[in-house]
Structures are given as structure tokens and as C-alpha cells.
Amino acid sequence: MTGESTNGVVLIMTQRFHFCPKCGGKLENKSYRERRRLTCNRCGYIFYENPVVGVAAVVFDRVGRILLGRRKSSYAGLWCIPCGYVEYDEDVYDAVVREFKEETNLDIRVTGILAVHSNFHNPEAHSVGIWFKAEITGGELRAQSDLDRVGFFDLKDPPPLAFPTDETVISNFTR
């Protein structure tokens, strides 16, 4: 099945789930108005494949450089704004503070929301990202978790980035 996002990105969607999480029945694609949805042939449950939520913290040093981290697993060797996923029972503000600490060893205070974008770079998992502006309140800068290096970079000359939406967020500061 193919579809097109509102920004013109063509998505090729394959059925990744085959059994109902409620009763174990077989999931089948059925049409509902404008969309096809996975529906259990036994209990009728509609299995919505919704995007996951990611969070990122944008932090600048005293001279206006942005903090980035080099990824060591997925997208290895490429850089990103420190980020991660929101846990099911977690507030997005708590998630960004936790994820930033896990990756950079720094404590932060969120001061605002900079951007919200859909991320289509990973065909396995559509996500919606929230980029928060934040200030460092403590800790010692050290790459950890998903990152093997961290550093501050000039906004006009960032290293190769892992995620197109990070490029978009950064470019908004250089206009």
C-alpha cells in the first residue's frame, strides 16, 4: 500500500502487524472512508498505526553554537540534536529532560518549544518530533547512551546530520 504525506513524501507501507493484540485474531486491511485500516477479523478491533513521539533539546553555548551528538548505533557516524522517544506513561517535558541527560550527562531546564515536525526518514517508524529550547543547569558534558561524541558547532557549518528534520530546525536559525 502506498500513500502520500502532506509534504509530498511518498510512503510505501507494508503490513507489519498480522495478529490482533486484543484477541489474537487475524488482522486484515479494510477500507474505512478515506483510509485502509488493519481490522481484526474476529473481534472487529481496529489497530491504528499511529506515529511515536520523539523529543529533542536545542542548547546553545555562550557564543551561539549548537550542541550536537554523534550517533554510535543507528545512523552511526552522523550527528543529531540530542533526542529520544517519549515513554508511554511519560510527559513530553520530562522525556526531553531524561533523554538529554541520558545522552549528554547534562541537566537542562526547558524554556520553550521551537518546532514540531513529522519525521519520515525511517520507513519502519513514523514519528512526530518536538524540539524544545533548553538551558544547561548542571552536569558535565559527556557522550553516553546512543552517542559517542558531543560538541558545540557553528550553526552555519554543522557536521553531517542524521535526520533531515534536524537540518530544518537548524536552518531556521540561520535565515
Tens-digit pLDDT profile for residues 52-76:
999 999 999 999 999 999 999 889 9
Q: Which residues of 104-133 are buried (b: 16+ CB within 10 A; e: fewer)?
A: bbbebebeeebbebebbeeeeebbbbbbbe
Cα four-point dihedral sign 23, 26, 30, 36: positive
Q: What is the mean pLDDT of residues 108-122?
A: 95
Every domain range in the chain assigned CATH 3.90.79.10: 52-171
Domain 52-171: give its CATH architecture. Answer: Alpha-Beta Complex (3.90)
Residue 26: how many CB atoms within 10 A of its CB? 12
pLDDT at 175: 78
Burial of 55 (0-12, 13-18, 19+ CB in 10 A): buried
* CA-to-CA dists, residue 36 to 2, 8, 23, 45, 141, angstroms: 11, 19, 21, 14, 47
Helix (H) or strand (E) holding 121: none
Q: What is the mean pLDDT of residues 72-92?
A: 96
Every domain range in the chain assigned CATH 2.20.70: 11-47
> What is the per-residue pLDDT across 1-51, written as a single tens digit (0 to 9) for each?
444 454 555 445 567 899 999 999 999 999 998 899 999 999 999 999 899
Q: Residues for the chain: how many in total?
A: 175
Q: What is the pTM of this model?
A: 0.86
pLDDT at 1: 42
Kindly report the CATH number that applies to the domain delimited by 11-47: 2.20.70
- The one-letter amino acid code at 160 reads P
Least confident among 5-14, 76-85, 93-102:
5-14
pLDDT at 14: 67
Residues 106 and 103: their CA atoms lie apart, in Å, by 8
User: Mean pLDDT, the chain, as a whole number?
Assistant: 92
